[in-house]
Amino acid sequence: MEAVIDVSGVEKMYRRKVHALRGVDLQVGAGEIFGLLGPNGAGKSTLVKVLMTVIKPTKCTGSMLGEKIGDKSTLTQVGYLPEHHNFPKYLTSRQVLRHFGAMSGVDRQTRNKRAEELLEVVNMSEWATHKLGTYSKGMRQRIGIAQALMNDPKLVVLDEPTDGVDPIGRRDIREILIRLKDEGRTVFLNSHLLSELEMVCDRVAIMVHGLMRQQGTIDELTKERSGFVISAQSQLDSDAISAAQKAVGGIDCKVSEAQSDLRFDTQSADRVQPAIDALRSRGVIIESIGFHRPSLEDLFIKAVNEHPDGARPGAQGAEKGARS
Amino acid sequence: MILMQSKAVFLDAYRELNAKKLFWLTLGLNLLVVALFASLGINKEGVSFWHWTFDNQFMNTNFIPKELFYKIQFTAWGVPIWLSWATTILALISTAGIIPDMVSGGTIEPMLSKPIGRIRLFITKYLTGLLFVGLQILVFAVGCLLVLGIRAGSWEFGLFLAVPIVLAFFSYLFSFCVFVGLVTRSTIAALLLTILFWLAIFIVNTGDTIMLSQREGAILQVEDRQNDVEVQERFAQKRIEQFREQGKPIPGEGDEPLPTNATDSLSAVNPTLTTARDRLQETKDSVPTWEAWAKRVYILKTVLPKTQETIALLERHLISDDELSDLMQMGANGQSANEDEPAMADPRVPERVAEIMRGRTIWWILGTSFAFEAIFLGLSTLIFVRRDF
């Protein structure tokens, strides 16, 4: 995998008190949509800001688009939409796009042309001459995304792009993300909306308490907890459980806390048939049988629960600290 | 790319100013002041305003040429009162928020994520703050040039010197304002602390004038009293000679005793000489004290921006030393110090103080002021470069 972002051991300590990033390793491949998720205070925005040179890391090795992190010239090829952005309200959307295009080093002719194209892409052409002060949050978000694309970037970093956007707007943004991927760009998404990420991301990473806990494709991450689940009407006794486990041989079997569900670590329906027979022969009433694949939300909650420090109030200071 | 980015920052600053009502209000007020300036006139009888004439025995064309009259108005209130006070306050209100707004959450991130260095971004933004004042002064200077040209027939392009001079004056305050704005991230704090700082400079300036006036007053008084003592001594000497001619005994000579209040023969024959000598000594003693205070204030002024002197540079350029001397003499004509009045009240003192002020070098005035600005701007830049947003 050709890495667009390849960093390791990223650390950020605020005022020698708050350890926002504790040695983050991250690889984002070229042309993929990468999703970064984590609870509040996990350090997601801090990591993004480190990549965007908004924050100086305490320690960081690695590169972005082949250049060292912190190299300003790399940013000519990067588009960035910050969380809670506040673009000048006295400018029209056309002026905003042209302004940030110029700041990114795009020549006048190209930025004028590109501004019109992007206004079209984000469905804001009709509002091109209106000042941002008159826009709704969703409209501002669309302009923010367009602004991030003004320099025709190879890498697009979007921090909570669907924040404040209605369902139709979210769908539009999803379509834009897929289009960016189709154009060969790499998209780095930072979002709370797990279902959104699940729909568009090729790979995701879960960050908790300043550390990357899991990283991979959604398939890779969910494979561990997927399998056939047999649900009994009532609690299973230990005899029935051991009989079912014995019947499937070497397949790993996990029992739910209520002792009514058995999850077999296999994707083959054939392999669980003996377990059904064993349970039925002991008079167990089977309520349902089905293949279960955990959602991103399940993985997220699992990661947070495994590292409860990530959800503690003190840890939220890490993200707040980033803005103070 | 550097030029393109800087141009974009300036264009954005212009649009921001354009969106502010205060910018247009200040511009409107500038034009109003120019209109008032144009309404003023001078003729043989006195000063005119529209079609009214106010008779004045000094302010008329017999004493002051039209051209000088307008220059005096421009340098006496146009620049020091209108541009240096009113416009500056309005400019500070308009620009105090530039840095706190820029570093606020949501605004700074898109800027920093662009391929522009932090130092360049900060300095460019700082310069955009000066744009406000630059435009206002330029409008005012053009207006005044037209007034002087049309009303007095003198096209004094030296008026444009007001642009860099007032801009320099504003930049001293703005560097402090930017520093406070960056540290506190608060527009209100930046504005209030800058105005307080300005007030402190004003107090130091006033202190400087007072100390210089006291010192010069004391020196003049020493000169006057020295003359007085010499006159009294000559008078006493004459009396002694008269005594000798008349064969009268001279106190203090030979066996003739001195009166109790006399220190020598001269003071014995002229009792007022003792008082004159005492007063001279008393004044001589006060000179080192005022000199020490004037020096202390001067040192303090050296490290602070020279707002008053910077503005006075314009007057130096527009009004020649001869013209100034004539004007000062008109004010102090025939007047001399009254013995019982404090030294400062001597009408020659303001002239001496003005002379000292004019004698201060441009390098001292601008050099130390720009050094102050550079230090604050440097500190602000350092903070901006090192800070995490």
Give the closest residue to A145 by CA, choosing from A189, A80, A90. Answer: A80
How far is A131 from B386, CA to CA, in rounded Å? Answer: 33
Residue B198 has pLDDT above 60, yes or no: yes
The beta-carbon neighbor of B109 closest among A75, A78, A85 is A85
Residue B201, in any domain of the structure: yes
Residue B264, in any domain of the structure: no
Q: Three-class SS of residue A28?
A: strand
Residue A316 has pLDDT above 70, yes or no: no
What's the rounded mean pLDDT across residues A232-261?
87
Q: Within an 8 Å CB–CB cutoff, is residue A82 touching chain B?
A: yes
Q: Within an 8 Å CB–CB cutoff, is residue A73 touching chain B?
A: yes
Judged by CB atoms closer than 8 Å, whether chains meet at A105 and B107 is answered as no
Predicted local confidence at residue B339, as pLDDT: 55
Strand A3-14, strand A253-255: pairing: unpaired
Judged by CB atoms closer than 8 Å, whether chains meet at B106 and A322 is answered as no
Same domain, A59 and A84: yes
Q: What is the CB neighbour count within 10 angstroms for residue B129?
A: 26
Encode pLDDT of B115-151 as tens digits: 999 999 999 999 998 987 888 889 988 998 999 898 8
Judged by CB atoms closer than 8 Å, whether chains meet at A54 and B19 is answered as no
Q: What is the CA radius of gyration of chain B?
A: 29
Residue B317 or B227, more confident: B227
Same domain, A187 and A311: yes
Residue B130, in any domain of the structure: yes
How far is B246 from A239, CA to CA, in rounded Å? Answer: 154
Q: Rounded to two decimals, what is the model's pTM?
A: 0.80
Note the ipTM here: 0.80
The DSSP symbol for A262 reads: E
DSSP for A168-234, please give it: HHHHHHHHHHHHHHHTT-EEEEE-S-HHHHHHH-SEEEEEETTEEEEEEEHHHHHHTT-EEEEEESS
CB B163 within 8 A of CB B137: yes
Residue B280, in any domain of the structure: no
Helix (H) or strand (E) holding B331: helix B321-332
CB A255 within 8 A of CB A262: yes
Same domain, A126 and A197: yes
The beta-carbon neighbor of A105 closest among B19, B115, B117 is B115
CA distances for B344 relative to B222, B240, B338, B350, angstroms: 13, 37, 11, 9
Same domain, A137 and A71: yes
Residue A121, in any domain of the structure: yes
Judged by CB atoms closer than 8 Å, whether chains meet at B15 and A100 is answered as no
Predicted local confidence at residue A115, as pLDDT: 96
CB A195 within 8 A of CB A201: no
Name the residue range of residue B10's domain: 1-38+66-220+309-389
Quick one: A313 exposed, middle or buried, by C-beta within 10 A (0-12, 13-18, 19+)? exposed
Site from B11, B14, B114, B387 to mutate, A interface, most A CB atoms within 10 angstroms: B114
Same domain, A152 and A276: no
The beta-carbon neighbor of A99 closest among B12, B112, B386 is B12
Q: Three-class SS of residue A167?
A: helix
How far is B53 from B44, CA to CA, in rounded Å? Answer: 10
Q: Find the CATH number of the domain harbouring A93.
A: 3.40.50.300
Of the listed ranges A57-71, A237-251, A263-277, A296-310, the one predicted with least confidence: A296-310
Name the residue range of residue A241's domain: 227-292
Site from A50, A72, A93, A109 to mutate, B interface, most B CB atoms within 10 angstroms: A72
CA distances for B212 relative to A135, A321, B41, B219, angstroms: 61, 53, 35, 10
CB B114 within 8 A of CB A104: yes
Residue A90: list chain B partners with CB under 8 A. 15-16, 18-19
Residue B295, in any domain of the structure: no
Same domain, A251 and A279: yes
Same domain, A123 and A249: no
Instruction: Give the total number of structural domains in chain B.
Output: 1
What are all long-range contacts of B288-291, with beta carbons under 8 Å and residues at least 24 apart?
B290/B211, B290/B214, B290/B215, B290/B218, B291/B215
- Residue labelled with tokens 């000066």: B130
- Residue labelled with tokens 């709704």: A136
Residue B1: list chain A partners with CB under 8 A. 105
Numbered residues of chain B with Cβ closer than 8 Å to any chain A Cβ: 1, 4-5, 7-9, 11-12, 15-16, 18-19, 104-117, 386, 388-389
Q: Find the CATH number of the domain harbouring A270.
A: 3.30.70.100
Predicted local confidence at residue B343, as pLDDT: 58
Same domain, A15 and A131: yes
What's the rounded mean pLDDT across residues A62-69?
93
Give the closest residue to B45 by CA, choosing from B33, B54, B34, B35. Answer: B54
Same domain, A28 and A160: yes
Residue B298, in any domain of the structure: no
Same domain, A200 and A244: no
Residue B369, in any domain of the structure: yes
Residue A11, in any domain of the structure: yes
The pLDDT > 70 percentage for chain A reads 94
Question: Residue A43: which region, alpha, beta or left (left: phi > 0; alpha: psi -120 to 50)?
Answer: left
Residue B321 or A29, more confident: A29
Same domain, A171 and A279: no
Predicted local confidence at residue B21, as pLDDT: 84
3-state SS of A112-161 is HHHHHHHHHHCCCHHHCCCEHHHCCHHHHHHHHHHHHCCCCCCEEEEECC
Residue B251, in any domain of the structure: no
Instruction: Please name the residue of chain B whose CA is at the shortest distance from the CA of residue A13.
Output: B388
Predicted local confidence at residue B328, as pLDDT: 61
Predicted local confidence at residue A252, as pLDDT: 85
Residue A222, in any domain of the structure: no
Predicted local confidence at residue A323, as pLDDT: 39
Instruction: Give the total number of structural domains in chain A.
Output: 2
What's the rounded mean pLDDT across residues B10-27?
86
Average pLDDT, chain B: 87
Site from B7, B17, B109 to mutate, A interface, most A CB atoms within 10 angstroms: B109
Same domain, A201 and A77: yes
Instruction: Please name the residue of chain A whose CA is at the shortest distance from the CA of residue B121.
Output: A103
